């Protein structure tokens, strides 16, 4: 599996999330994952389970927003034959299916008041009673992981979510940063999505993305976060015939950003580099920048090394040497 349990990210924000996941996967506490739509909440929930001592037991997801209210209760708690008209046989609920493992309550913010009470009881008593159950409640051993893209604290303030349940669920909070706050994650995500698409469509491989196009992606605000990026790369690669993603391939909304705020960003891009709390390797950063500028120069000079060398104020042999060292192939920069 690539990255951290299938998650990529080099930003300080994502590194902190990975570290937190490692720590909390060892405990049995309830976890509440919050973050905008498409930030990777489901991936985080799975990672916590997969790294936990419960990894070999079931991980049962329930999307509280996707299941109609009147079905959600029986879906979660199950029922016995004859509990209501139509209950022609016993049915195991998802809570019981998760016994010994983890229950993932996705979009918990959409759960109605009555079910919130039932979940609270489940957490407090660690027991479950299917609809129509007439015996002693069944003991259950589950770890509850929840996710929401709503601001649950605000929902509590507004009286739409029970405060006692919020505190019970929010023992360990995980906050996922939106993609616009971590543009440094975009290059590796783009690379990953390109590789994945290439595997699906080996006949029309894309070798990479031009520095200009990448810069535009990094300047965009990504309201749909990583999912939006993933979809855009897929759409480009389905439509594309060339082998490098160029600004012209990008959707209008992304290119439009550049015409206003992006110009400034372009010139100040390298000056705005930040040193994360854990420090960085100057050597690595400088060689990354060197590679990026060489690729950009080659691109601007349409692969003509003589011209690229002049742009970078070095002689041709030095450029060729540096291209070799950085494994840059001028041919891959050209459109066919």
Ligand X SMILES: Nc1ncnc2c1ncn2[C@@H]1O[C@H](COP(=O)(O)OP(=O)(O)OP(=O)(O)O)[C@@H](O)[C@H]1O
Question: What residues line the site for ligand X (CB under 6 A)?
Answer: 7-9, 35, 37-43, 149, 189, 226-227, 230
- Per CB under 5 A, the segment of 33-41, 46-54, 138-146, 192-200 that binds Mg ion is 33-41
Alpha helices in 222-311 (DSSP H): 225-239, 252-257, 263-268, 282-300, 305-311
Nearest residue by C-beta to Mg ion?
Answer: 42
Smallest distance, ligand X to C-beta of residue 189, A: 6
Could you say which of ligand X, Mg ion, none residue 35 binds, taking C-beta under 5 to 8 angstroms by partner kind? Answer: ligand X
Smallest distance, Mg ion to C-beta of residue 159, A: 25
- Tell me: does residue 228 bind Mg ion (CB under 5 A): no
Q: 109 and 148 in contact (C-beta within 8 Å)?
A: yes
The DSSP letter of residue 216 is: H
**Residue (234 or 290) nearer to ligand X, CB:** 234
Smallest distance, ligand X to C-beta of residue 258, A: 24
Smallest distance, ligand X to C-beta of residue 67, A: 14
**Residue (81 or 201) nearer to ligand X, CB:** 201
Could you say which of ligand X, Mg ion, none residue 102 binds, taking C-beta under 5 to 8 angstroms by partner kind? Answer: none
Nearest residue by C-beta to ligand X?
Answer: 40
- Determine the Cα–Cα distance for residues 36 and 297; give it in Å rounded to an integer: 37
Can you state the percent helix, strand and coil of the chain, rounding each to 5? 50, 10, 40
- Tell me: does residue 42 bind Mg ion (CB under 5 A): yes
| Nearest-5° Cα angle at 280, 277 to 282 | 145
- Per CB under 5 A, the segment of 35-43, 67-75, 237-245, 301-309 that binds Mg ion is 35-43
Instruction: Please report, for residues 265, 289, 292, 316, 334, the alpha-carbon distance to residue 304 in angstroms, rounded to integers and kept in the order given.
Output: 27, 20, 16, 10, 10
Q: 229 and 218 in contact (C-beta within 8 Å)?
A: no
**Residue (15 or 265) nearer to ligand X, CB:** 15
Could you say which of Mg ion, ligand X, none residue 38 binds, taking C-beta under 5 to 8 angstroms by partner kind? Answer: ligand X
Kindly give the pairing relationship between strand 138-139 and strand 127-128: antiparallel
**Residue (42 or 292) nearer to ligand X, CB:** 42
Phi then psi dihedrals of residue 175, to 5 deg = -110, 120
Smallest distance, ligand X to C-beta of residue 181, A: 13
Q: 189 and 11 in contact (C-beta within 8 Å)?
A: no
Q: 86 and 131 in contact (C-beta within 8 Å)?
A: no
Smallest distance, ligand X to C-beta of residue 227, A: 4
Q: 230 and 191 in contact (C-beta within 8 Å)?
A: no
Summarize as ranges the residues that interact with Mg ion (CB under 5 A).
Answer: 41-42
């Amino acid at each position: 599996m690539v990255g951290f349990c299938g998650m990529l990210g080099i930003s300080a924000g994502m590194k902190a999330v990975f570290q937190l996941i490692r720590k909390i996967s060892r405990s049995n506490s309830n976890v509440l994952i919050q973050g905008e739509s498409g930030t990777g909440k489901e991936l985080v929930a799975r990672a916590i389970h997969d790294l936990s001592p419960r990894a070999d037991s079931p991980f049962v997801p329930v999307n509280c927003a996707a299941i109609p209210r009147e079905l959600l209760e029986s879906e979660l708690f199950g029922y016995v034959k004859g509990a209501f008209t139509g209950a022609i046989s016993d049915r195991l609920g998802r809570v019981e299916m998760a016994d010994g493992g983890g229950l993932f309550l996705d979009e918990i913010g959409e759960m109605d008041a009555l079910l919130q009470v039932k979940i609270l009881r489940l957490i407090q008593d660690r027991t479950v009673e299917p609809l129509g159950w007439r015996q002693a409640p069944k003991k259950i051993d589950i770890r509850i992981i929840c996710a929401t893209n709503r601001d649950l604290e605000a929902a509590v303030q507004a009286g739409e979510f029970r405060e006692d349940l919020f505190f019970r669920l929010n023992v360990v909070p995980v906050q996922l940063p939106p993609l616009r706050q971590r543009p440094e994650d975009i290059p590796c995500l783009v690379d990953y999505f390109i590789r994945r698409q290439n595997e699906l469509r080996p006949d029309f491989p894309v070798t990479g993305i031009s520095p200009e196009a990448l810069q535009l992606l990094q300047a965009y605000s990504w309201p749909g976060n990583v999912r939006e990026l993933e979809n855009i790369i897929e759409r480009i690669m389905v439509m594309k015939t060339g082998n490098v993603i160029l600004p012209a391939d990008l959707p209008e909304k992304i290119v439009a950003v550049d015409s206003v705020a992006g110009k400034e960003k372009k010139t100040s891009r390298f000056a705005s580099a930040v040193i994360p709390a854990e420090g960085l390797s100057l050597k690595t950063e400088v060689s990354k920048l060197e590679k990026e500028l060489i690729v950009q120069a080659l691109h601007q000079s349409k692969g003509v090394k003589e011209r690229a060398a002049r742009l970078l104020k070095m002689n041709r042999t030095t450029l060729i040497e540096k291209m070799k060292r950085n494994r840059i192939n001028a041919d891959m920069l050209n459109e066919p």
